[in-house]
Amino acid sequence: GAGVSQSPSNKVTEKGKDVELRCDPISGHTALYWYRQSLGQGLEFLIYFQGNSAPDKSGLPSDRFSAERTGGSVSTLTIQRTQQEDSAVYLCASSLGPSIMNTEAFFGQGTRLTVV
């Protein structure tokens, strides 16, 4: 596709349920990032993929959060046993490679997750 695509755009879930968020990066982009943005806050880094491997998972807030990437393309972020504090906009971004020398990241529209 022309840009980074995320689905669903909105998700309302009950506390304790599991959710899966999907990201389709720009074709040919090897680097993929997940960020979380709460109301009035900056972008909080969650996880970074280079190809299918995740060299940096340091931002995942707890072991309820996991992510995978298959075929060097689509990525899924899974949140198990959701809590109200997980409510946020989850943004995915991709870039041609590691962000070196003006290789900017392109962001998707995000998934707005609301845990009730």
Partner 1 sequence: GQNIDQPTEMTATEGAIVQINCTYQTSGFNGLFWYQQHAGEAPTFLSYNVLDGLEEKGRFSSFLSRSKGYSYLLLKELQMKDSASYLCAVNPGGSYIPTFGRGTSLIVHP
Q: Binding residues for partner 1, per CB under 8 A? A: 4, 31, 33, 35, 40-43, 45, 48, 56, 91, 98-102, 104-110
DSSP label at 16? T
- Phi and psi at 62, nearest 5°, equal -160, 175
Least CB distance to partner 1 at residue 81 (A): 27
Shorter beta-carbon distance to partner 1: residue 62 or 103 = 103
- Asked if 64 and 81 count as a contact pair (C-beta separation under 8 A), the reply is yes
Least spacing, CB of residue 4 vs partner 1, in Å = 8
